[in-house]
Structure 1
């Protein structure tokens, strides 16, 4: 696993430093997979009735990465009707994911920036 992590760092850290955010990137199948992996957690954080106008969609649009003890993915998500949210999804070195932050009322043009982890999540995640 350590070899994989070192190889990842060698290939993917150009343009940003450990702990800092990468440049903005277009969404990929991996970012959509990350969103899908925490879909229920995201829906649980949305206000009641958020999806009443139309069925909710969670489509990743763009993202930035942060290397920590694993990876934080700051992802812009379209939820439908030109509404957007930003989420933070943490992925540990074993590939386990958890939603750690969400910001509502974003627009397509809002930059993806660091924000506080504000989602109550199971802290035993880190000890598994």
Structure 2
């Protein structure tokens, strides 16, 4: 019986350690630096992102959309939560859903973010 309890506790601790390294299924993964694939994803939905920005958002500058970092969430497809620089140290967070067929769409955009704001579920 003591051996069973020891094994159960050891497995529980191992699972806890693994979940901290990789995140829970359905939970947000750790923050990672943007990759060329992340930038391609942002580029593929550029018009949708711009469509969710308030009128005049890019009035003072040419609008760039540069992926900086991201977190992902595996669901029936993947949700990408991406920090995007829009130019002159202005940042937004963009949530993009990519379905199992590979089709991507913008789910939500958060404005007035900084480089140091953590990427959280929204």
The answer to whether the superposition gives a TM-score over 0.5 is yes
Task: Name the SS of the counterpart of 1:61 in structure 2.
Answer: strand
Q: Deviations over 1:6-29 (max 9, x none)?
A: xxxxxxx96112210111100001
Residue aligning to 1:77: 84
Residue aligning to 2:101: 94
Q: 2:91, 2:66 → 1: CA distance?
A: 9
> Structure 2 residue aligned with 1:64, among 56, 71, 85?
71
Q: 1:39, 1:87 → 2: CA distance?
A: 11
With the length of structure 2 as denominator, give the TM-score of the two structures. Answer: 0.81
Alpha-carbon distance, 1:76 to partner: 0.1
Alpha-carbon distance, 1:52 to partner: 1.3
Q: Decide which structure has greater helix share.
A: 2
Q: 1:1-128 alignment to 2 at 5 Å? A: 15-115=22-122
Number of residue-to-residue matches in the alignment: 103
Q: Deviations over 1:53-107 (max 9, x none)?
A: 1100000000000000000000000000110000100001111000001100000
Larger radius of gyration: 2
CA RMSD of aligned residues (A): 1.2
Task: Name the SS of the counterpart of 1:85 in structure 2.
Answer: strand
Unaligned runs of 5+ in 2: 1-18
Task: Name the SS of the counterpart of 1:35 in structure 2.
Answer: helix
With the length of structure 1 as denominator, give the TM-score of the two structures. Answer: 0.78
Alpha-carbon distance, 1:111 to partner: 0.2
Task: Name the SS of the counterpart of 2:58 in structure 1.
Answer: coil
Q: 2:23, 2:100 → 1: CA distance?
A: 19
